Amino acid sequence: MERCLANAVAAGLSRTREYRMRPRSLLMAAAAAALLAIAPLPALAQPAPPRLPPPEATDPVALGIMAGSPPAANRRVNLANLLAYPNPRWGFHHMRELAPSRAVSSAGKPVRPLATAQATLDGVTLDDGAGNRVSLADWQKNTYTDGLIVLHNGRVVLETYHAGMQPSDAHALWSLSKSFVGLLTAMLVHEGRIDRQAPVSRYLPELAGTAWGEATIQQTLDMTTGAAYSEIFTDPASEVFRYLFATGLVPPPANYPGPRILYDYLPTVAARGEHGAGFAYKSVDTEVLGWVIRRVTGKDVATLLSERVWRRLGAEGDAYYLLDPAGTTISSIGFNATLRDLARFGEMIRNGGKVGDTQVVPAAVIAEIRRGGDPAKFRAASQTVRDGYSYRNQWWIAHDPDGTFEAKGLHGQHIHINPAAGLVVVKLSSHPIGNTIFTHVQDRAAFRALASTLRR
């Protein structure tokens, strides 16, 4: 299968780009593209994953991954082999050891304690999507969970760690990073520093005549821009390969002539289709927003997030963003943070932007996210499993009776917020399949089961 995929990608790249890639680079690029592709899957009720390794056989501690001084050659993890399973089970909570990064500083502010509460969750079961009743422990194991925390009305009722992850480890959030960028952009819109109806090129004249030349800030926030860009790892012509090379997270082959930093790559993306017509998942939209933030404020996303949010959460420690080769924050997929601090963030969002008596994020910004976007436009992506959802300001809105909304990242990263049940769930994982649609039915069943039990 890998050889077929490599051949397909090689043929496509040969047709669409004037360069050749070594097979190893092809496989890296194909695997890395799978890391990102949330939206472009066939319209299936619940896609059946290929045969997966037993979760218990992928434990990085038991396997000795990166153990020893030095680690054995076949147990070392780097960017070139990060996605070769089971390396993600170690790599996803050690990304700062693999790539350059910039801190999202907590600035040594006092830690806001997370209170605990007694809750009986041992008997909670859920449908795993295949007609089987499974426990919460089985759900965590079956979805390759690295860390899980559940808050009910602000109190921790469940907190678990697996695969060697420790409470102090910052975990890769991948596309969940987008929701932080969306939040910062929406805050600047609320303050009048960014006009949501203005074309992106007002702030970034470098992008005039590109995919974002006439696209508005709001269309970019909602991923309804018309761009000659796709994130389909089975498509050999998919632009996601060029994006990944520009981030530096996937090392390009030596003879690759394309852009090797983000701000050189983004101006090469051409317009295609009608802006505002329908939702199409594009990591590059978020990178553009990160650039707008930097241009408007003079500060990159990592610095602004620290000043506006992280220092005010009562976080236990610093988070961090990965950087491209030019030192640019990888806004779309580069954020890493600890489980407990993400729980603090989720609880702040659930409380309408407040931490205690302090309004960290304007309530109107949270309310706009919760209202969501147009589900009809969302259907353009053919995500039948998420029928009824919309996408607004880089957040996923379920439009269900409880008003749940979510931040999501590939390989199983979740911040799930249920306002009606007083519930916040943060789940960090290293699932072998990148696309969260593969576990969507089971994950949503678990979230509903937790809500049902805790609201009694």
Active site residues: 175
Burial of 120-152, coded b for 16+ CB within 10 Å and e otherwise, reads: ebeebebbbbeeeebebebbbebbbbbbbbbbb
Distance of CA 329 to the CA centre of its chain: 15
Q: Maximum distance among all alpha carbons in the chain?
A: 62
**End-to-end CA distance of the chain, in Å?**
49
Contact of 159 with 339, CB cutoff 8 Å = yes
Contact of 198 with 216, CB cutoff 8 Å = yes
CA contacts within 13 A on the Cβ side of 373: 24
Side chain identity, residue 151: L
Contact of 319 with 335, CB cutoff 8 Å = yes
Neighbours of 274 (CB within 10 A): 10
Does the bond joining 47 to the residue before it have cis omega, within 30 degrees of 0?
no
Dihedral of alpha carbons 437, 442, 447, 451, sign: positive
